[in-house]
A and B are shown apart, each in its own frame.
Chain A
Amino acid sequence: MSEAVIELHEVTRQYDEGPPALRKLTLTVNRGDSVAILGPSGSGKSTLLNLIAGLDRPTSGTVTVAGAEVHTLGEAAAARYRRSHIGMVFQFFNLLDDLTVLDNVLLPAQLAGVRGGEARSRAARLLTTLGIDRHSGAYPGRLSGGERQRVAVARALINQPALLLADEPTGALDTASGIEVQNLLKELHAGGQTILMVTHDMALAEACATRTIHLVDGQVSADTLTDSRS
């Protein structure tokens, strides 16, 4: 379990104004790890996630994910990289309201050019596993927050990504739904999925993470191994 999936080397991200959001951050995440990023608002957590997802580029430093030099990718290459390596889950779900649950889940596979039959069977399996198969024909607007987040997770996993990124996955959920999602992530990790999540939710971090990283002012202030598999 020591193969590195994410390697950040001296990453700095400076926005147009203000102090840098990340300062010379160096970080390695191994395959199978479940990492929780914690820290106060504005400490650079989302920025870090965006850099790993190839949604943003560092001002300096290198970002390597599953062998891909993410900081060098152009827009099109970054899109291809996301399709094949990354699944993303957001605080506000970011489902497309005009597509059904099934179509939302299928979208990344379709963009990646996965054959229709294969994509559909993957989606069906995921929806069943996540317990939302009965909503597959519904539109996201009709679902509860917890259900929506599960749809988002299914969408993130359809291309069998090396890395699942989650930004405050329980941030918009009530306690009960939060626990649903927490259990889901835990199961995924148990199944070997590498996860990097940003959260304020200590319960989530404790339940799901094998490692917690504290960010303060764009720098790692603490990096602790926790064993959640008890």
Chain B
Amino acid sequence: MSALGRVVSSGVGRRRWLQTLVIGLVAAMAVATSVLGGALLISSRAPFDTAFADQNGAHLAVLLNAKKVAAQQAAATANATGVAAAAGPFPVGTVGVRGTEAGTLTIDLKVVGRADPGGAVDRVSLTDGRWATGPNEIVVSNAGIIVSVGETLTAGETTLTVVGKARSMSDTADAWTDPATLAALTTTSEYQMLYRFEAAATATEMTANQTAVEKALPADTVIAARSWLEVRREAVEAAAVFVPFLVAFGVLALAMSLLIVANVVTGSVASAVRRIGILKALGFTPGEVVRAYVGQALLPAAAGAGAGVIVGNLLAVPLLGRIQVVYGTPKLAVSWWVDVVVVVFVLGLVAVTGWLAALRAGRLRTVDALAVGRTSSGGRGRWAARLVGRLPVPRPVGIGLARPFARPIRAVLLLAAIAFGTAAVTFSVGIGTSLVRVQAAGEHNIADVVVQPPRPTRGGPSGPADAGPQADPAKVLAAISAQPGTEAAYGVRQQPMRMTGAANAVNVSATLGDAQWNRYEMVTGGWYGAPGEATAASGLLRATGKKVGDTITLTGSGGTATLTIVGEVFESGEAVWADVASVGAAMGDTGSTSGVRPTNGERGQTEDSFRYYIAITDASDVLDYIAPLNSDLETLGLEAFRNPRTTEPIITALIGLATLVATLLAAAAALGVLNTMMLDLRDRVHDLGVMKAVGMSPGQTVTSVIASVVGVGLLGGAAGVPIGMAVHSLTLPSMAGTAGTSLPSFITDVYLPAVLTALVFGGLVVALLGALIPSGWAARVRTATALRTE
């Protein structure tokens, strides 16, 4: 090792081990955060398209009448004009399943019999467990019902074991079994054929493709066909809300690691200025010194970066797991090149900032460099020290409070780290809350219990329940309301209706009783009350150009209803709500169908009968509530079920995501504080020794060090919170822009005074956490040793 190398590395070795550790830690942190940031950014780039391409997604999914087409005939359509690849025919059936727990609703699943998930088209990704190969095994789509691997489902007499969860970006099924199991469960009168085409980018091309496939088949054998463009539109719409949020998080994470690395490396090289002066006095050239110091910063940084890649990839597993849920895509993983790019980037940053700082130090006249640290701060901040000296606080506190003024630049760096951390956390909390509210509001589903006609327990030709004459809704609602434990209840009947001036069918809900409590959030106006009033979804108003106050005309199988829109509900679909007295007649008799296919057919809700949503006073006792209610309802031909909540996975994922990112950013900020504090304490080690020699106790030392960050912490918190709020209010509209809804106050106003206060003090907490270790270290430093450093 050269003489210079020895001099420099002796600096790394002993007294600077903590500094070295921090550089390593910071590099690890920066790499880990950047890996996550990169993962966030990449996963946010066209999540649907990427996953669809990975799966060889089906451009067209066709449902064929199995009675009119032979399997071979169906398979032969693979040779139709324009078809690039085809899969199938797979048998398809509708199976009504319910959880084994009492009180759970029977849900119709579209089950496809597939021996394996691979193939040329629609390579279904398993996200959990394995593929269903044996009898009575089932794999469920994780876009559908909420059930875990290992649980069982009941389909009539049969018990099905969930052996896996899977995701088809082409949305080809709710569940899969092997063909034999499906045949045993239900009569499969339909085939599914899946195609990829040479050209499938536009609607025109897709229409041509579909025509070509139909031509290759006997007439009237296609029951339904679904273009990937439609699937894509729905998926993209659903994910679009989250993209800016995740992009913002990714950018924040990258910015944070940048800031911290620059802060730490600059600080540590700057603190070596005096040593650099000595080296130069001994005859080393500035160039040699700079190279040596960059090397000294790079060494621990490289070690840290290695650790950071591991930590980052480990953390990415839960992170990406949550993004999967949010975007509805299967297995995401960090690409190896992200790791490489991030490591190169962070180490490059260390080298560049280290080089710049060392260059400055290297250029410093030797005399000046030697003087650094030896002389006092030259009067800077003395006015503050005097001012603080007059404060009626114990002396150690006063000394601490005056400290930032003695080293203003360092105090500003500290302030920046804390303000940035606080801003990041404020933003994460705000955006997380907003998104959770958006997500929750979009579902309109906080009822505990739902009442509806029971399904036939055996699968079979699916269709509306043959429940005979429908019970009088008013009587049902009265019975429900009379039930002890009922907090709120309403009945609703849904039907797709035609609306004059609207291209698509509109989902109309006719309600009996107040339904607004079931999380219908108003954007403007109010919930309908009087006959002839209606409330419309934001999506409908956007699609049709209607406004609150306008009149709309709805046509159903029973006639026409003219309604005045009195309010806008936060909902991206095309839907209208009105009292059954206003639209019930136009819908016609219950049990009949309007003949209009719903555009966003919510599964299991297409049949036209009243169902009832109930909120109960004690939600922990749903089953206790259901049992007596069911005996009352039996005569009315209805049954009460525990309401399955479908939103929870995404909301949980969002909360988890925001928490994870906020924690990381706060930790990075704390690390920045830690580093700055340590640099500061090293400068003060001699002064601390003097103070201890004249009787400052360890407790007083800790107090003093803590007091030196309190002011900066509070200020940083106070500065960071409005910054975070500003970024939040800037990001929200871009989210709304892609989601296509206006922003009601329940989404924008997420910062309660209590939350804001907590956030401001959060800056303080971050500062205190960062100061904790250094203060303990300062308290423990050997006085005799400290006094010798001079």
Contact residues of A with B, CB < 8 Å? 50, 53, 55-56, 75-76, 79-80, 82-84, 86, 88, 90, 92, 94-100, 103, 106-108, 110-113, 139, 141, 155-156, 159
Contact = CB atoms under 8 A, between A and B. Distances in A.
B696 A111 contact: yes
B784 A50 contact: yes
B395 A98 contact: no
B448 to A, nearest CB: 58
Contacts of A111: 395-396, 691, 694-697, 700
A82 B699 CA distance: 15
11 contacts: A53-B693, A56-B784, A76-B699, A86-B695, A92-B790, A97-B376, A98-B377, A98-B385, A98-B402, A110-B394, A139-B379
A79 B695 contact: yes
B381 A98 contact: yes
B692 interface: yes
Given A98-B376, A110-B395, A139-B382, A55 B784 contact: yes
A50 B784 CA distance: 7
Given A90-B787, A111-B395, A75 B780 contact: yes
Given A92-B790, A98-B406, A80 B697 contact: yes
B779 interface: yes
B321 interface: no
Give the interface residue-count category, chain B: 35 or more
A50 B394 CA distance: 27
A108 B695 contact: yes
Given A94-B787, A111-B395, A139-B382, A88 B693 contact: yes
Nearest to A156: B694
Nearest to B704: A111
A107 B691 contact: yes
Interface string B358-400: 0000000000000000011101011001100100001110000
Contacts of A50: 784
A79 B700 contact: yes
A69 B379 CA distance: 42
Contact of B693 (A76, A80, A82): A82
B111 to A, nearest CB: 72
Contacts of A55: 692-693, 782-784, 787
Contacts of A95: 690
Contacts of B782: 55-56
Nearest to B389: A103
Most B CB contacts (10 A, CB to CB) among A95, A106, A108 go to: A108
Interface in B394-415: 394-396, 402, 406
Contacts of A96: 687, 690-691
A74 to B, nearest CB: 9
B733 interface: no
A76 B782 CA distance: 12
B5 interface: no
Nearest to A90: B787
A107 B700 CA distance: 12
Given A55-B693, A98-B406, 7 more contacts: A56-B784, A75-B697, A96-B690, A112-B695, A113-B394, A139-B382, A155-B694
Interface string B534-548: 000000000000000
A64 B396 CA distance: 29
Nearest to B786: A55
Given A79-B700, A98-B377, A111-B700, A88 B783 contact: no
Given A50-B784, A99-B385, A111-B396, A94 B698 contact: no
Contact of A107 (B694, B780, B787): B694
B698 A75 contact: yes
Most A CB contacts (10 A, CB to CB) among B381, B394, B695, B782 go to: B695
A50 B376 CA distance: 26
Contacts of A99: 385
A107 B395 contact: yes
Nearest to A46: B784
A92 to B, nearest CB: 6
A79 to B, nearest CB: 4
A149 B381 CA distance: 25
Nearest to B699: A76
A66 to B, nearest CB: 15
B243 to A, nearest CB: 52
B186 to A, nearest CB: 78
Nearest to A99: B385
Contacts of A83: 694-695
A44 B307 CA distance: 46
B401 to A, nearest CB: 13
A88 B694 contact: yes
Contact of A80 (B381, B690, B695, B790): B695
Interface string B498-514: 00000000000000000
A95 B376 CA distance: 11
Contacts of B381: 98
A169 to B, nearest CB: 14
Contacts of B687: 96, 98
B469 to A, nearest CB: 86
A76 B694 contact: no
B609 to A, nearest CB: 77
Interface string B235-258: 000000000000000000000000
A51 to B, nearest CB: 9
A120 to B, nearest CB: 12
Contact of B690 (A56, A94, A139): A94
A79 B784 contact: no
Contacts of B406: 98
Nearest to B690: A94
Interface in B685-711: 686-687, 689-700
Nearest to A74: B698
Contacts of B697: 75-76, 79-80, 111
Most A CB contacts (10 A, CB to CB) among B375, B687, B779 go to: B687
B373 to A, nearest CB: 12
A77 to B, nearest CB: 8
Contacts of A98: 376-377, 381-382, 385, 402, 406, 687
Nearest to B701: A79
Contacts of B784: 50, 55-56
Q: Which 6 A-B pairs have the closest CB atoms?
A: A83-B695, A97-B376, A79-B697, A110-B395, A108-B694, A94-B690
B491 to A, nearest CB: 72
A79 B385 contact: no
A83 B691 CA distance: 10
B695 A97 contact: no
Interface string B421-452: 00000000000000000000000000000000
A84 to B, nearest CB: 8
A88 B402 CA distance: 25
Given A97-B376, A107-B395, A82 B695 contact: yes
Contacts of B780: 75
Nearest to A93: B690
Contacts of B779: 75
Contacts of A84: 695
A121 to B, nearest CB: 17
Contacts of A139: 376, 379, 382
A79 B692 contact: yes
A113 B381 CA distance: 25
B698 A79 contact: yes
A55 B385 CA distance: 28
A146 to B, nearest CB: 19
Contacts of A80: 695, 697
Nearest to A108: B694
Contacts of A141: 375-376
A96 B693 CA distance: 12
A94 B787 CA distance: 8
A53 B379 CA distance: 32
Nearest to A92: B790
B785 to A, nearest CB: 9
Nearest to B790: A92
B782 to A, nearest CB: 8
A55 to B, nearest CB: 5
